[in-house]
């Protein structure tokens, strides 16, 4: 039909699509009005059926004309094209016929001016068969929709991509800042106030020794009534207590079966009672606890056959009930007698019931160690809140309306408990969402009432979101779990619209009617799945297997359908002629269901924020939602772009659009915006859609370039940062990935090494986040799970599932894909060998080196360890430590390994590590190369097992001795007085370097508190009490009580400085040109003295004490001097080994550098330092081995540092360095590091110059010691090198 132009015309006055009848077929003319998302294609290939395809090609013709060619393959009959040309808000329909043949062809030439797209379906006239695109119309996009392109600061969107704003990544920064931070902290620090009912329970347990068997709290408007059963000395009693003000009468009975009212025996009724025919009336008595008034009543039972106590209350002539039901205390939920299965007394009634039911089927279940009830189980939780939740769970199970209203009532208590309180709410809601808790139990409730309760709960959460920025991440997670809810018509539409659907589509009976009855009385999140299953069933040409597949994949079985109060017995049995109308109506209906039940449905969230009016006739007529005010310019068009591309197979443009929308939305989320909750749910939906889109892209990334994978990583890091409260580290990771991409595009030969550092840092950020979630959520999951009888497998994986539901899991998978690529490009191999030694031993797998560091293995052992921090000891008997963790090559544990001739290596390949773990218990021989380790299984006969665990390389470890140092009469000395008898090697070496190093190297001025000072101060009469306590604790320590170590350290902090020590130290510091802390006030001296005491007390830290014991050093002979130096406010800190410790190459210097102070290098701070080697023959050409991944730097402006300097740190054969503490007078500032602005990382000339200077300083110092390898620490400040200590390299 070349040369024919079609122009769209609007139906007069309707604003809706015009409807044009074609022929006699009743449904041909129906162009469905849709809210469902549609994929837009600028041409492409579509499947028609199993044998036929449709190829659509779009190409320009002349002027504004466009030619569209449609070719349908393998068709044997005539086809008709039902199509329409669309302008914004208008459409025109027509019908054309294909030229017949084995391949049917049709060409349309159309004037593109003003047109947005064409829509069409294809009909096989002979077989009356309609072809659609997955149940929807085919659509070919002609040009960008109007409003998608904006200039300047607006968002730019085209048919295929989104123009992202050029914004500084740090604009997305969130650091938990709060204008009322002190108020927030006070609120979190203040425990929730005890009510009189709490005090009543406590008095029963403490004063009377009562064992609480079961209890129940009921609401009386704003007040409460507590009913509980207790047992003391064989007597069973029911106690009722209430804070109700008006006098009350208890109208009660006993029951031996549910629903029964039976008058109690006269002998047990309380004084003043009146017996009735089937009940009894007893007055409450007034009482008081801690000045709080309440009413109480006690009933002593005479028989254990009663199952419960029904009751109502009367105040004057007003009857008070439990909503519309009687109150009921269920005795069957109490702890069983000793002859039956026994439960811990503090179990909730829900737990008792669940466990007793389950134990009847599996008696061992009752003894699972996870089932606890002691107060220790609640450590790390908002215990009172969780127990309150457990008390109210039975009420919550009546319906979702009850659950959400109870949750809304508990928000204040959760807020008062701070982060742990919100964690408790999240755990409870997650148990609910995963169907671990009952949603409805014989209670009819209108959908409107459920949505109103949801709305009330989420309104309360919204208020906290505004007030407490530091809890926004947790609040988002709760809201995601709960769903939006809504006042008024949102919930009611669920009830009303199903009737319209049934009437319009003539499906009033069977499964549809059963579903209607369920919806009418108790809608739930299951209805979203049921609706989707029905749509999938119809889209599959009524294949009932597809219906069941959708249900089962989402956890809904036949048994669950039958368990509803209004069960669904039937399968859908619909007709093909109902298909199109039902699909249209259910698509709309899904929006209503998701608007109430889903916290992450994108379409309904967008509709709620941007506004919508129903387009359909006779369906949801008059439903209108107004847009949120103040949305960014171009934001609705940006969201439309997202919806248009939601089903794209290539997700890159979609994810860019989603992230641009989240970034544009962020300023509104940080302010007290009107309808903030709607915007939060929109952001949650955008976040969730990013995750699903990324997961959908994994297959396409199988053969993707490294640049493509890095770009996707950057997108997911950005998404994760937008969902995280404290996101500075993630944003620095994002900047690093962006920089790595630029380096790769410009073929920088360092790009892979640089990217590997940010991969390691990103992994570390994910691990840190996982640990944070575990610490916050898992204790609450375990304690509440134990109270509610939740299945243990659900509790065990609770935190893991929370993490899996976010972007972190997708990010981890992407990192795993990129890691081997980077290692290959950067020639890193699968291993980093920290201490190269050929070894053989038995393989043992452990989680953390810290947990076994003091264990002794009686045979040569190869430890495969998940976690190594850097400060641990190597256990006796261990010949190798293999780990995926990445401690610094110069960390304490690395030095220990080299000194002890232990193979120590990091494995970067999870497959290799998994293979090693699978060899647990076997004997392996390991041989390290430069970047690899070869291993093989050997028979035990090849393994030489020493008769002593002290044997290393066939020789006994030497037993070292220390000569006790004496106090020589001086409390403080200058550097000129440093000698063997006064100070350790650390101080002496500094004094030796002073004046000998080149002029471009500086040595800080130093003074010291010499050996014997500590013992003299401790023996001073002003410290007599401290001395006596230390003596007692030392005796306990000598008897093997290691807990005495921390007690000794704490006691030593009470030491008082003698006046002569203060005066001598002041004189030495001032005469050496150092500032005296006391000149700034007495408080500053106290800070300095506290730091000194911490250094002296570190003689008793666990690692140092056990290390001396391991080599049989007499701990009492260990003397501690304190080296005092002014801190250099460092730009960088470094450690040099003048012989490469990994290879043993003496011609090569190895060094590590960190930004800020050196504590992050020598201490147990996560991440890796920048590392490099430099040939001593070419000090101008350092070679970078690895870029830094440490997320934190330590900085301090002006202060004094007090360094440990013992006589045990530099003994030959004993690596004592780093065992004792160095303490600055002032606390260091922790700064999240941005390496993209660090010239040491980004400026090649600066890096080469700085690293060369460090290497040259190391070489010159080594020469000062006659070529003896040195272990040197120093800093760089404004380009100048400062050496703070040197010692022989071990």
- C-alpha triplet 484, 489, 490: angle, nearest 5°: 25
Element housing 981 (H / E): none
Which residues are paired to 254 by β-bridges?
262
Rounded (10°) CA dihedral 339, 344, 348, 352: -30
Residues 6+ apart with CB under 8 A from 933: 831, 833, 882, 903, 905, 907, 926, 927
Element housing 70 (H / E): strand 65-72
Distance between start and end Cα atoms, the chain? 88
**Residue 428, both tokens:** 């409870």
Angstrom distance (rounded) from CA 922 to CA 938: 8
- In 3D space, the residue among 862, 801, 872, 867 whose CA is nearest the CA of residue 837 turns out to be 862
DSSP 8-state secondary structure symbol assigned to residue 165: -
Element housing 527 (H / E): helix 526-539
- Cα 1006 to chain centroid, rounded: 46
**Residue 25, both tokens:** 């077929």
- Cα 609 to chain centroid, rounded: 28
Which residues are paired to 45 by β-bridges?
55
CB atoms within 10 A of CB 1259: 16
Angstrom distance (rounded) from CA 54 to CA 1176: 70
With contact defined as beta carbons under 8 Å apart, do 253 and 308 qualify?
no
Residues 6+ apart with CB under 8 A from 1040: none
With contact defined as beta carbons under 8 Å apart, do 494 and 518 qualify?
no
Angstrom distance (rounded) from CA 228 to CA 216: 6
With contact defined as beta carbons under 8 Å apart, do 601 and 592 qualify?
no
Residues 6+ apart with CB under 8 A from 795: 370, 781, 782, 785, 786
Helices 526-539/510-522 angle, 10° precision: 160
Name the H helices within 1039-1158: 1044-1052, 1059-1071, 1082-1097, 1102-1110
3 state SS of 489: helix
The string of DSSP codes covering 374-433 is SGGGGTTS-HHHHHHHHHHHHHHTT-HHHHHHHHHHHHHHHHHTTHHHHHHHHHHHHHHH
Angstrom distance (rounded) from CA 412 to CA 749: 57
Q: Which residue has the tokens 């409460």?
A: 224
Instruction: Characterize the bridge pairing of strands 1270-1277 and 1132-1137.
Output: antiparallel
Angstrom distance (rounded) from CA 731 to CA 725: 12
Element housing 1223 (H / E): strand 1223-1224
| Exposed / middle / buried, residue 1021 (Cβ in 10 Å: 0-12, 13-18, 19+) | exposed
Phi, psi at 1274, each rounded to 5°? -165, 180
Angstrom distance (rounded) from CA 782 to CA 786: 6
Which residues are paired to 302 by β-bridges?
none
* Choice among 471, 584, 739, 892 that is catalytic: 892
Distances (CA, A) of 395 to 350, 401, 413, 442: 11, 10, 18, 12
**892 belongs to the catalytic site:** yes
Label residue 1170 left, alpha or beta by phi (over 0 means left) and psi (-120 to 50 means alpha): beta
Please list the active-site residues. Answer: 892
């Amino acid at each position: 039909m070349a040369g024919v132009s079609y122009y769209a015309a609007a139906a007069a006055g309707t604003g809706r699509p015009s409807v044009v009848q074609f022929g006699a077929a009743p449904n041909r003319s129906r162009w469905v009005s849709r809210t469902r998302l549609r994929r837009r294609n600028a041409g492409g290939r579509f499947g028609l059926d199993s044998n036929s395809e449709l190829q659509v090609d779009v190409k320009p013709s002349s002027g504004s004309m466009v030619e569209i060619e449609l070719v349908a393959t393998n068709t044997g009959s005539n086809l008709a094209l039902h199509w329409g040309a669309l302008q914004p808000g208008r459409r025109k329909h027509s019908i054309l016929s294909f030229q017949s043949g084995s391949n049917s062809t049709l060409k349309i030439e159309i004037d593109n001016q003003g047109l947005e797209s064409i829509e069409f379906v294809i009909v096989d006239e002979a077989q009356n068969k309609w072809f659609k695109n997955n149940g929807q119309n085919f659509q070919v996009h002609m040009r960008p929709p109007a409003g998608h392109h904006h200039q300047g600061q607006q968002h730019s969107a085209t048919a295929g991509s989104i123009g992202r704003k050029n914004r500084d990544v740090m604009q997305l920064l969130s650091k938990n800042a709060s204008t009322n931070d002190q108020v927030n902290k006070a609120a979190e620090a203040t425990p929730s106030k005890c009510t009189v009912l709490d005090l009543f329970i406590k008095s029963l347990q403490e004063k009377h020794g009562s064992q609480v068997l079961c209890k129940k709290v009921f609401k009386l408007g704003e007040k409460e009534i507590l009913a509980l059963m207790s047992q003391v000395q064989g007597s069973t009693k029911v106690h009722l207590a209430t804070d109700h003000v008006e006098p009350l009468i208890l109208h009660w009975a006993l029951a031996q079966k549910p629903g029964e009212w039976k008058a109690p025996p006269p002998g047990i009724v309380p004084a003043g009672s009146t017996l009735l025919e089937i009940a009894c009336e007893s007055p409450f008595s007034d009482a008081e606890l801690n000045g709080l008034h309440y009413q109480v009543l006690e009933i002593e039972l005479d028989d254990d056959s009663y199952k419960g106590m029904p009751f109502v209350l009367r105040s004057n002539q007003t009857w008070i009930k439990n909503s519309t039901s009687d109150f009921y205390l269920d005795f069957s939920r109490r702890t069983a007698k000793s002859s039956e299965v026994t439960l811990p007394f503090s179990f909730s009634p829900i737990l008792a019931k669940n466990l007793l039911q389950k134990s009847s089927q599996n008696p061992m279940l009752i003894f699972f160690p996870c089932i606890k009830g002691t107060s220790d189980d609640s450590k790390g939780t908002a215990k009172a809140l969780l127990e309150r939740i457990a008390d109210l769970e039975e009420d919550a199970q009546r319906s979702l309306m009850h659950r959400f209203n109870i949750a809304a009532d508990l928000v204040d208590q959760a807020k008062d408990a701070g982060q742990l309180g919100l964690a408790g709410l999240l755990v409870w809601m997650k148990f609910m969402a995963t169907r671990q808790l009952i949603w409805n139990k014989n209670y009819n409730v209108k959908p409107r009432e459920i949505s109103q309760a949801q709305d009330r709960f989420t309104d309360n959460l919204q208020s906290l979101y505004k007030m407490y920025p530091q809890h926004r991440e947790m609040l988002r997670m709760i809201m995601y779990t709960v769903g939006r809810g809504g006042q008024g018509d949102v919930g009611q539409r669920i009830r009303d619209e199903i009737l319209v659907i049934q009437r319009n589509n003539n499906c009033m009976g069977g499964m549809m009617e059963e579903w209607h009855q369920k919806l009418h009385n108790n809608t739930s999140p299951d209805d979203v799945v049921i609706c989707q299953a029905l749509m999938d069933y119809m889209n599959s040409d009524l294949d009932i297997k597809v219906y069941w597949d959708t249900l089962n994949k989402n956890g809904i079985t036949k048994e669950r359908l039958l368990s509803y109060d209004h069960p669904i017995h039937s399968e859908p049995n619909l007709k093909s002629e109902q298909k199109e109308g039902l699909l249209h109506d259910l698509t709309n209906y899904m929006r209503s269901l998701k608007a109430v039940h889903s916290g992450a449905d994108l379409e309904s969230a967008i509709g709620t924020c941007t506004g919508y009016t129903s387009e359909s006739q006779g369906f949801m007529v008059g439903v209108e939602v107004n847009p949120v005010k103040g949305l960014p310019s171009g934001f609705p068009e940006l969201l439309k772009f997202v919806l248009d591309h939601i089903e794209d197979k290539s997700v890159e443009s979609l994810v860019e659009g989603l992230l641009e929308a989240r970034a544009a939305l962020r300023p509104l989320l940080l302010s007290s915006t009107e309808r903030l909750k709607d915007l939060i749910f929109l952001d949650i939906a955008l976040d969730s859609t990013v995750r699903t889109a990324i997961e959908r892209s994994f297959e396409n990334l199988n053969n993707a370039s490294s640049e493509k994978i890095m770009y996707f990583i950057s997108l997911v890091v950005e998404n994760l940062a937008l969902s995280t409260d404290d996101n500075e580290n993630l944003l620095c990771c994002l900047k690093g990935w962006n920089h790595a991409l630029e380096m790769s595009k410009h073929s920088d030969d360092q790009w892979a090494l640089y990217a590997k550092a940010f991969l390691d840092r990103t992994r570390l950020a994910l691990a840190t986040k996982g640990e944070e979630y575990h610490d916050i959520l898992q204790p609450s999951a375990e304690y509440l799970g134990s109270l509610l009888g939740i299945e243990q497998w659900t509790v065990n994986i609770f935190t893991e599932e929370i993490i899996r539901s976010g972007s972190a899991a997708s990010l981890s998978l992407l990192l795993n894909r990129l890691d081997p690529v980077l290692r290959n490009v950067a020639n890193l191999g699968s291993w980093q060998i920290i201490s190269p030694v050929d070894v053989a031993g038995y393989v043992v797998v452990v989680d953390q080196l810290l947990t076994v560091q003091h264990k002794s293995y009686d045979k040569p052992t190869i430890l495969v360890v998940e976690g190594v921090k850097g400060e641990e000891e190597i256990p006796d008997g261990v010949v190798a430590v293999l780990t995926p963790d990445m401690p610094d090559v110069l960390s304490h544990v690395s030095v220990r390994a080299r000194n002890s001739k232990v193979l120590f290596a990091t494995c970067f390949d999870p497959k290799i590590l998994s293979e090693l773990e699978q060899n647990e218990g076997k004997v392996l021989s390991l041989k390290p190369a430069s970047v690899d380790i070869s291993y093989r299984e050997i028979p035990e006969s090849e393994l030489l097992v020493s008769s002593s665990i002290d044997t290393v390389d066939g020789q006994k470890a030497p037993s070292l001795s220390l000569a006790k140092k004496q106090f020589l009469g001086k409390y403080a000395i200058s550097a000129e007085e440093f000698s063997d008898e006064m100070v350790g090697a650390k101080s002496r070496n500094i004094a030796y370097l002073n004046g000998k190093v080149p002029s471009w190297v500086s040595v800080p001025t130093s003074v010291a508190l010499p050996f014997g000072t500590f013992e003299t101060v401790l023996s001073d009469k002003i410290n007599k009490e401290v001395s006596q306590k230390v003596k007692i604790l030392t005796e306990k320590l000598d008897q093997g009580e290691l807990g005495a170590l921390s007690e000794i350290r704490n006691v030593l902090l009470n030491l008082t400085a003698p006046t002569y020590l203060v005066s001598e130290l002041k004189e030495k510091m001032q005469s050496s040109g150092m500032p005296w802390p006391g000149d700034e006030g007495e408080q500053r001296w106290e800070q300095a003295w506290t730091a000194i005491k911490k250094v002296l007390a570190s003689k008793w830290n666990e690692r140092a004490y056990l290390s001396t014991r391991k080599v049989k050093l007499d701990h009492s002979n260990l003397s501690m001097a304190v080296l005092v130096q002014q801190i250099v406010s460092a730009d960088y800190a470094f450690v040099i080994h003048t012989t490469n410790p990994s290879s043993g190459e003496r011609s090569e210097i190895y060094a590590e550098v960190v930004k800020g102070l050196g504590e992050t290098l020598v201490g147990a701070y996560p991440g890796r330092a920048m590392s490099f080697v430099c040939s001593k023959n070419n000090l101008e050409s350092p070679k970078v081995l690895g870029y830094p991944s440490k997320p934190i730097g330590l900085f301090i402006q002006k202060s004094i540092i007090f360094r440990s300097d013992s006589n045990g740190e530099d003994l030959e054969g004993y690596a004592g360095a780093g065992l004792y503490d160095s303490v600055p007078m002032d606390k260091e500032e922790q700064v999240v590091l941005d390496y993209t602005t660090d010239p040491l990382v980004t400026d090649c000339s600066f890096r080469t110059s700085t690293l060369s200077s460090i290497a040259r300083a190391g070489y010159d110092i080594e020469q000062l010691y006659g070529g003896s390898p040195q272990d040197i620490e120093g800093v760089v400040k404004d380009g100048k090198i400062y050496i703070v200590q040197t010692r022989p390299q071990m």
